[in-house]
Amino acid sequence: MILAIESSCDETSVALVCDGRVLSNRVSSQIRLHAEYGGVVPELATREHLRNLIPVTRAALDHAGARVEDLTAIAATRGPGLPAALLAGFTTASALACSLGLPLFGIHHHEAHLYSPWIWGDPPEAHFSEFEPHVSLIVSGGHTLLVHVQGELQHSVLGGTLDDAAGECFDKVAKLLQLPYPGGPVLDRLAGEGDPTVYRFPRPMLTDPGWEFSFSGLKTSVRYFLEKHPELASDPRALRNLCAGVQAAIVEVLGAKAVRAAGQLGVKCVTASGGVTCNRGLRADLERRCAKRGLRLRLADRMLCTDNAAMVGVLAERKFKAGVQPDDLDAPTRPGWALGEP
């Protein structure tokens, strides 16, 4: 039984995983704390992690009906992420591993996201028997990555964003439209009531032959548009159409590139994870594109799209079983760790 900790950004999460089954996955979100600042404040995030780590660990153990004596390994996100936030979770994990005499697995946050679409059911369980080569889209507030997953624990990054992440673009556009933080989910809701064809925004790098993304130009074009038509943001109907237009632009770039990559690499499956995978427009777009091309689509369960320790525990257990060496208990955290970097 593995106890896993995730604390790379603004969610303190602890999970217990045993034989691919997620026995508990407690998440304490800090969204409300950061809302008044319009973004994550690293210092506040760290304090909140420190306050929550032990109670959330206790709650995860209680929910699973487990005791620390039942544990066989400890895992925690080692990077990338906010430096002090990572330190809070990873140090707690090494302290637990040290005091219990257990191995410690330092997990790459993005690699953990890669495994979340393979966890489903109630209670949730990892379905590795269905694992197959695929293209994976990891889209959140901090990252936008397209990854070729050749097999379990085997992947190569195809491309990432050159500037803003997709979620960051959702959030920044939402801010321009004076929507509350975090803007992504609010924009999604309004977009669902709008017409995406009324206002058309650019689709950056859509037809570019590479696998990179760029979203800062899209945000800027919305800003220029609003400077020219300031009255639209306060007109409820125009606001909904604007949200729908922006969402359609972001979603088309993400969906089209992921599906094109699958075609070029000859894989039959596409997966998506990260907070932006909660977006209804993105889910529907990927479903439509994959169905058209006969690709299997695995979208992370909404509960597992955002940061959580279940995906960290599932990956750590896979590594443990595959004979991957655990980390030294004094291993440093890696805030700027790129996926694929040894």
**What residue ranges bind Zn ion (CB under 5 A)?**
140, 307
Find out whether 97 and 292 touch, Cβ atoms under 8 Å. no
The site partner of 188 among Zn ion, ligand KG4, none (C-beta below 5 to 8 Å per kind) is ligand KG4
The site partner of 276 among Zn ion, ligand KG4, none (C-beta below 5 to 8 Å per kind) is ligand KG4
- Cα–Cα distance between 21 and 84 in angstroms, integer? 30
Residue with tokens 């079983």: 321
* Shortest distance, position 272 Cβ to Zn ion, whole Å: 13
* Shortest distance, position 46 Cβ to ligand KG4, whole Å: 16
Q: Judged by CB, which is closer to Zn ion: 139, or 242? A: 139
Q: Judged by CB, which is closer to ligand KG4: 111, or 188? A: 188
Point out which residues bind ligand KG4 (CB under 6 A). Answer: 9, 140-142, 167, 170-171, 182-185, 188, 274-276, 278-279, 306-307
C-alpha separations of 73 from 100, 101, 292 in Å: 9, 9, 43
Q: Judged by CB, which is closer to ligand KG4: 7, or 24? A: 7
Q: Judged by CB, which is closer to ligand KG4: 21, or 280? A: 280
Closest CA to 305 of 267, 333, 270, 271: 271
The site partner of 196 among ligand KG4, Zn ion, none (C-beta below 5 to 8 Å per kind) is none
Q: What is the β-pairing status of strands 154-160 and 269-273?
A: unpaired
* Shortest distance, position 300 Cβ to Zn ion, whole Å: 11
DSSP 213: B
Mapped onto helix, strand or coil, the DSSP state of residue 115 is helix
- Cα–Cα distance between 225 and 29 in angstroms, integer? 34
Closest CA to 260 of 326, 321, 210: 210
The site partner of 85 among ligand KG4, Zn ion, none (C-beta below 5 to 8 Å per kind) is none
The site partner of 141 among ligand KG4, Zn ion, none (C-beta below 5 to 8 Å per kind) is ligand KG4
* Shortest distance, position 21 Cβ to Zn ion, whole Å: 22
Q: Judged by CB, which is closer to ligand KG4: 1, or 136? A: 136
- Cα–Cα distance between 137 and 143 in angstroms, integer? 10
